[in-house]
């Protein structure tokens, strides 16, 4: 299946490619990046291959959504990912950024574009997001997106906080957003 590309002010959001492996492994190799992911350990290169293959194919073929590679338009570097997967049958917003991309608003920019695509192009009614309770940066992103805190519970075998956003409550701004149907 083809997957759309999305362009925002500073990012190109495109489907992952085989040649992204080394950059993805570099991002996941940073213990600060993976601190709140799963058990907090950094994955091996072989585990990164599995992640990359899941990002490239899983969900896109079956649901028409997945995770996009985030490419910094100013330098062409892969700086993370953002997209959707399923959490107990509900689309879940997921994002990870390289430490070098932190504090620049890129997570919010990518996540807002992903939500806009989900609600305006896919017609989804609801999207959720989860993170670990101590992940203050991710919680701030969810707040900036207008997501509603729903409480704490176990997801993926870990204590998490759950946020949600309904299509009728989504307010997009006038930031650059362009969907290109290619790849």
pLDDT digits (tens, 9 = 90+) for 60-87: 888 889 999 999 999 999 999 999 999 9
Tokens 């100013």, residue located: 74
Structural domain of 33: 3-125
Does residue 151 fall inside a structural domain?
no
- pLDDT at residue 139 greater than cutoff 60: yes
Does residue 132 fall inside a structural domain?
no
Does residue 145 fall inside a structural domain?
no
Does residue 61 fall inside a structural domain?
yes
3-state secondary structure of 172: coil
Question: Quick one: what percent of the chain has pLDDT higher than 90?
Answer: 79
Does residue 162 fall inside a structural domain?
no
Contacts of 54 (CB under 8 A, 6+ apart): none
- pLDDT at residue 182 greater than cutoff 60: no
In angstroms, the CA 81 to CA 68 distance is 5
Contacts of 140 (CB under 8 A, 6+ apart): none
pLDDT digit string (tens) for 2-24? 689 999 999 999 999 999 999 99
Contacts of 23 (CB under 8 A, 6+ apart): 77, 78
The structure's pTM equals 0.94
Does residue 50 fall inside a structural domain?
yes
Tokens 């997967």, residue located: 85
Does residue 47 fall inside a structural domain?
yes
User: Count of domains in the chain?
Assistant: 1
Does residue 40 fall inside a structural domain?
yes
CATH number at residue 107: 3.40.630.30
């Amino acid at each position: 299946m083809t997957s759309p590309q999305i362009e925002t002010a500073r990012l190109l959001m495109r489907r992952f490619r085989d040649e992204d492996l080394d950059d993805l492994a570099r991002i996941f190799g940073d213990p600060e990046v993976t601190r709140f992911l799963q058990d907090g350990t950094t994955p091996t290169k072989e585990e990164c291959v599995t992640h990359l293959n899941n990002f490239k194919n899983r969900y896109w073929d079956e649901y028409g959504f997945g995770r996009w590679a985030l490419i910094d338009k100013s330098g062409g570097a892969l700086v993370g990912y953002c997209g959707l997967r399923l959490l107990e049958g509900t689309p879940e917003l997921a994002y990870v950024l390289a430490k070098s991309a932190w504090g620049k608003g890129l997570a919010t920019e990518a996540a807002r574009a992903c939500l806009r695509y989900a609600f305006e192009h896919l017609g989804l009614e609801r999207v959720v997001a989860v993170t670990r309770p101590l992940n203050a940066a991710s919680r701030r992103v969810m707040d900036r997106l207008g997501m509603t805190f729903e409480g704490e519970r176990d997801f993926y075998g870990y204590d998490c906080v759950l946020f949600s956003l309904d299509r009728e409550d989504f307010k997009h701004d006038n930031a650059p957003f362009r969907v290109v149907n290619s790849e």
